[in-house]
């Protein structure tokens, strides 16, 4: 039996979506974020890192979104509906599957952290300094980096309906969380092709069922 250890408002939405697209039966074990927005300690009983998502499949315990998506595709997608067969598309598939967490998400996480330096739980007396520091780093480095990445992705989607070919693949599922975060947190205008891709995602019945089962994916903005 497949079991997803699902944390609200997290990357584990991607695993639920993949399972829905594959038409697989699964159970959800739910966890709620603490007031600090960190995952609860209960997740450490499932995996030592205490992170979500975690997938269990007949005794096998898997962490890391990309690894889970690759496992699901290799194990349950015998018709290769969610991994392209064309060699050129395979190259794109591999790139975007790893780019999502390797290149894009670190910048988005930094954006969230530096935007939070002027807010609780930062001590009141340090918030003015923290806000100035956070805004300075964003202006000098982060915002420019994020814009470079956003234009790169937008240009790719200007010529491709999906990330690796003409149909949805696991690469799109992997890219969903960082792109939803980029649109919410990046503060970058004129990303029409990313926005159109997001609309295609949101129109899919599998995504709609994911939200119905896993709850809304509400990502804080970056300011």
Q: Do domains 2-82 and 87-204 have the same CATH topology?
A: no
Q: 86 is written with which tokens?
A: 């064309």
Three-class secondary structure of residue 52 per DSSP: coil
Chain mean pLDDT for the chain: 89
Q: Where are the domains of the chain?
A: 2-82, 87-204
**Looking at domain 2-82, what is its CATH homologous superfamily?**
Glutaredoxin (3.40.30.10)
The 3-class SS string of 20-72 reads HHHCCCEEEEEECCCCCCCCCHHHHHCCCCCCCCEEEECCEEEECHHHHHHHH
Q: What's the average model confidence in pLDDT over 99-121?
A: 83
Secondary structure E strands in 88-193: none
Of 33-47, 59-73, 162-176, give the lowest mean pLDDT range: 33-47
Q: 87-204 — its CATH code?
A: 1.20.1050.10
Q: Is the pTM value of this prediction over 0.95?
A: no
**What are the φ/ψ torsions at residue 31 (nearest 5 degrees)?**
-135, 145
**Which residues, listed in sequence order, are joined to residue 30 by a DSSP beta bridge?**
6
Is residue 127 within 8 A of residue 204, CB to CB? The reply is no
pLDDT bracket for residue 41 (50, 70, 90)? confident
**Is the N-terminal amide bond of 7 cis, ω within 30° of 0?**
no
């Amino acid at each position: 039996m497949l079991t997803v250890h699902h944390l609200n408002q997290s990357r584990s939405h991607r695993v639920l979506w993949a399972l829905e697209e594959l038409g697989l039966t699964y159970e959800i074990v739910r966890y709620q974020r603490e007031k600090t927005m960190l995952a609860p300690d209960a997740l450490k009983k499932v995996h030592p890192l205490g992170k979500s998502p975690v997938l269990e499949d007949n005794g096998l315990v898997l962490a890391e979104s990309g690894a889970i998506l690759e496992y699901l595709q290799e194990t349950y997608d015998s018709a290769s509906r969610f991994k392209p067969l064309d060699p050129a598309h395979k190259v794109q598939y591999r790139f975007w599957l790893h780019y999502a967490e390797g290149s894009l998400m670190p910048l988005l996480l930094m954006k969230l952290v530096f935007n939070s330096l002027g807010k609780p739980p930062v001590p009141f007396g340090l918030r003015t300094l923290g806000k100035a520091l956070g805004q300075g780093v964003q202006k000098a480095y982060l915002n420019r980096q994020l814009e470079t990445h956003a234009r790169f992705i937008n240009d790719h989607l200007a010529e491709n309906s999906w990330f690796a070919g003409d149909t949805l693949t696991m690469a799109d599922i992997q890219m969903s969380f960082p792109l939803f975060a980029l649109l919410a947190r990046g503060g970058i205008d004129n990303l029409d092709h990313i926005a159109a891709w997001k609309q295609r995602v949101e129109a899919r019945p599998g995504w709609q069922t994911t939200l119905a089962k896993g709850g809304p994916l509400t990502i804080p903005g970056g300011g």
